Amino acid sequence: MPQYAKIHWLESGEPFSEQFQDFYFSTDGGFQETEYVFLKQNNLPQAFIDLTDKQQIFRIAETGFGTGLNFLITAMHWLQTSSLNSTLEYTSIEKYPLNKVDLIQVFSIFNKNWPQLSLYCEELQAHYPVEFKNNQIQLDLFNGRIILNLLIEDASSALKNLSPSLTDQQSNKIDAWYLDGFSPAKNPDMWNQDLFNSITKLSKPGTTISTFSSAGIVRRGLQEAGFNMTKVPGLGKKREILSGIKLTSN
């Protein structure tokens, strides 16, 4: 059984992580932030629209599933823009999953602030387990249009374990990465060279990556691992964020 997230509910209704003393998302601009940092910087949903018949599975991997906000917004875009014969495989790694009661409470905030997500919240809520009995679950959502793999373990070890099965087959590799741990200062286990190297092994030329963090350790680490990283302006109070692309096959 995993250790579940310890949530402190602020008066505003927002969930705050007791373990990491940090916010999962901002009720103010959280939706726009996800679209900007993760979808736009990975050139989604244009990549969803551009999928050819040759590639019918698009793979996104995320470090830090949290409340599922990034997943829900991505699912919304995927279902609105991609062709009906394609599948999104979304793999997210989470060491401290929210228990279902907390997830339902978070979804009530999402429904209130962003009613356009209610359909997607409903589907995920219906499939989200009451208890995580295994450290890997696969949810078949939206009539098979989206497969959600939740890996309930530490991100570095999960990615290391994934590497051997995917390293040989270019076609199975990840198309886009969302790095969404808490900030590196508060959550160093989510941002280390081992993890960045595993990410590279799971990527192919053209794989994109983005994160809200602009920390030097993240930019240099991903660069050293083989990504071409660029600082781009952030939204609101966030001055800069990072996006990148893997150019070569090694």
Ligand X SMILES: C[S@@+](CC[C@H](N)C(=O)[O-])C[C@H]1O[C@@H](n2cnc3c(N)ncnc32)[C@H](O)[C@@H]1O
Binding site for ligand X (CB under 6 A): 5, 24-25, 64-70, 93-96, 154-155, 180-182, 187, 189-190
Half-sphere exposure of 180 (CA within 13 A, CB side): 27
Q: Which residues contact 235 (CB under 8 A, 6 or more apart)?
A: 29, 32, 33, 36, 37
Query: Taking the complex as a whole, how short is the minimal distance between the CB of residue 228 and ligand X, in angstroms?
Result: 24
Q: Which is nearer to ligand X, 98 or 229 (CB)?
A: 98
Angle at alpha carbon of residue 199, lines to 196 and 201, rounded to 5°: 115
Closest of 101, 100, 26 to residue 69, by C-alpha: 26
Q: CB 175: neighbour CB atoms within 10 A?
A: 22
Kindly state the tokens that stand for 161. 């374990």
Query: Taking the complex as a whole, how short is the minimal distance between the CB of residue 6 and ligand X, in angstroms?
Result: 10
Q: Which is nearer to ligand X, 23 or 204 (CB)?
A: 23
Q: Which is nearer to ligand X, 181 or 244 (CB)?
A: 181
Q: Which is nearer to ligand X, 96 or 196 (CB)?
A: 96
Q: Which is nearer to ligand X, 29 or 204 (CB)?
A: 29
Query: Taking the complex as a whole, how short is the minimal distance between the CB of residue 203 and ligand X, in angstroms?
Result: 19
Query: Taking the complex as a whole, how short is the minimal distance between the CB of residue 15 and ligand X, in angstroms?
Result: 9
Q: Which residues contact 140 (CB under 8 A, 6 or more apart)?
A: 127, 147
Query: Taking the complex as a whole, how short is the minimal distance between the CB of residue 64 and ligand X, in angstroms?
Result: 3
